[in-house]
Amino acid sequence: MCRRNVGRRRGVSAIAGGAIVLAIFFMVIVPLVVLMQNSYALFLNESNSRRIFDTDRMSESLTVGVSQDAITKRLTLLLSNDGPVNVRIVRVWAIDVVRQTSIPMAKPCLEGELLSLPPGRNGTLDVQTCVNGFTGIVQFLAVTERGRIFSSNKIYLKEGGLIDIVFPYTLTVSIINMKKGRMYEVYVTPLGNGKVSPEKFTHKATASNENVTVAFGIFPGNYSVALYENGKLVQIPKGNPQLIEVPDTTAVIFTLGHVTYKPVELKPLILAPNTVNKKKTDQIIVDIYVQLPKDANESVFITGILDPLLTIRGGANIASCNFYSGYMLMPGQIGPIATCTVNINSDFTIIVNQGKILGEGTLTSATYINAEASKNIKVVAD
């Protein structure tokens, strides 16, 4: 009797112990899972907030210019928000470009209420107090609430006012054989006490092998002239940047090694029967195609068809034509140009008139036209 009670007590104790362990397990795991979910939600929220902030920060765009009132002679900072997000300016200051230090000033450039510019809005800021009495090269810097810095062009001041500088020399910089769609930047940097205006030139090539020449007003001195393509320094055999001394050198030429593209003639193709039995039909369908030769070194966009496309010599006339354009051909490819219905009476010849098929090079924007092509069609009379 005692042994049975002992066994029953052991069984109850094991069940109770398992229940306790299970309860402890849920008491630990459930709060831990809830804590992890809350932490993960906080992480996602913070990550999204940071991503939105970074996107807005990179989307900021602010143009900073400087003007002087013709009457009061006070300097004004012209601010233009040409980006898609609101820009709030929290600080503006002026620096001495030569010494790369802030200009000592009695008052800050931005006082009181912060300047906020919605997208597309312009604003002005009186910055005369920042540069009162200063003589030299100055540049204004504007800092946004998101931490971006935007700068004005470098300007020359004499006792806090703009001065007109007459440059004794002109430096010409030429870029030869540019590539379509690439952004090119030329920087002319004084190496010492030289002065140049402007110091930067930007140009986006609209066609391959395009050439451009820009002029810079410049003082005697040593300069570095650098060319960048899509933000990268261009590697040129003659060297880049080029170090020059004015007035010994007043012209710099950057010749890029891009391929020279030469337009080729488009080749028309006529698809029509060689013989027609008039007992069965007095009309035929003629399909006109165009081929871009294999030796073309760029693709061509077929832009249009000029009328009249065809000339019929002999006993036939054109009833109707449907024209096709607005597609691109790669070298060696063939594309449809027209489908025409021709009424026939006797033997005749179809001729594709020269210069009626127009195309445009996708790289050079050069004009492509067709050469003349003919095909004899023999009609069997009754």
Q: Over the stretch 336-376, which tens digit does the pLDDT of each residue have?
A: 999 999 998 888 888 899 999 999 988 777 899 998 776 66
More confident residue, 233 or 42: 233
Residue that is written with structure tokens 């402890």 in the block: 24
- Burial string for 73-111 (b: 16+ CB within 10 Å, else e) reads eebbbebbbebebbbebeebbbbbeeeeeebebeeebbe
| Contact between residue 309 and residue 323 where contact means Cβ atoms under 8 Å apart | yes
Decide if pLDDT at 53 tops 90. no
Instruction: Tell me the CA end-to-end span of the chain in Å, nearest whole number.
Output: 129
- Interval 249-256 mean pLDDT: 90
Residue 66 has a pLDDT of 86
Decide if pLDDT at 18 tops 70. yes
Band of residue 3 on the pLDDT scale cut at 50, 70, 90: low
| Contact between residue 108 and residue 130 where contact means Cβ atoms under 8 Å apart | yes
Residue 252 has a pLDDT of 93
Cα distances (angstroms) measured from residue 119 to each of 69, 114, 373: 26, 16, 57
Band of residue 15 on the pLDDT scale cut at 50, 70, 90: confident
Cβ-based neighbour number of residue 132 at 10 Å: 15
Residue 83 per-residue DSSP state: S
What does the domain layout of the chain look like in residue ranges?
A: 62-162, 169-255, 267-380
Lowest-confidence region among 30-39, 49-58, 168-177, 370-379: 370-379
- Interval 113-121 mean pLDDT: 84
**pLDDT tens-digit series, residues 59-86:** 898 888 888 877 777 888 888 998 888 9
Decide if pLDDT at 132 tops 80. yes
Q: Residue 288: exposed, middle, or buried by beta-carbon count in 10 A (0-12, 13-18, 19+)? A: buried
Contacts for 241 with CB less than 8 Å, ≥ 6 apart: 187, 224, 225, 226, 227, 233
Band of residue 8 on the pLDDT scale cut at 50, 70, 90: low
The helix, strand and coil proportions of the chain, stated in percent and rounded to the nearest 5, come to 15, 50, 35
Residue 366 has a pLDDT of 84
CATH number for the domain running over 169-255: 2.60.40
Band of residue 382 on the pLDDT scale cut at 50, 70, 90: low
Whole-model pTM? Answer: 0.42
Q: Are domains 169-255 and 267-380 of this chain identical in fold?
A: yes
- Interval 16-21 mean pLDDT: 76
Residue 10 has a pLDDT of 52
Band of residue 300 on the pLDDT scale cut at 50, 70, 90: very high
Going by C-alpha positions, the residue among 85, 121, 123, 128 that lies closest to residue 107 is 128
Decide if pLDDT at 137 tops 90. no
- % of the chain at pLDDT higher than 70: 91
- % of the chain at pLDDT higher than 90: 25
Band of residue 134 on the pLDDT scale cut at 50, 70, 90: confident
Report, at the CATH architecture level, how domain 267-380 is classified: Sandwich (2.60)
Residue 1 has a pLDDT of 47
Report, at the CATH architecture level, how domain 62-162 is classified: Sandwich (2.60)
| Mean pLDDT (the chain, rounded) | 84
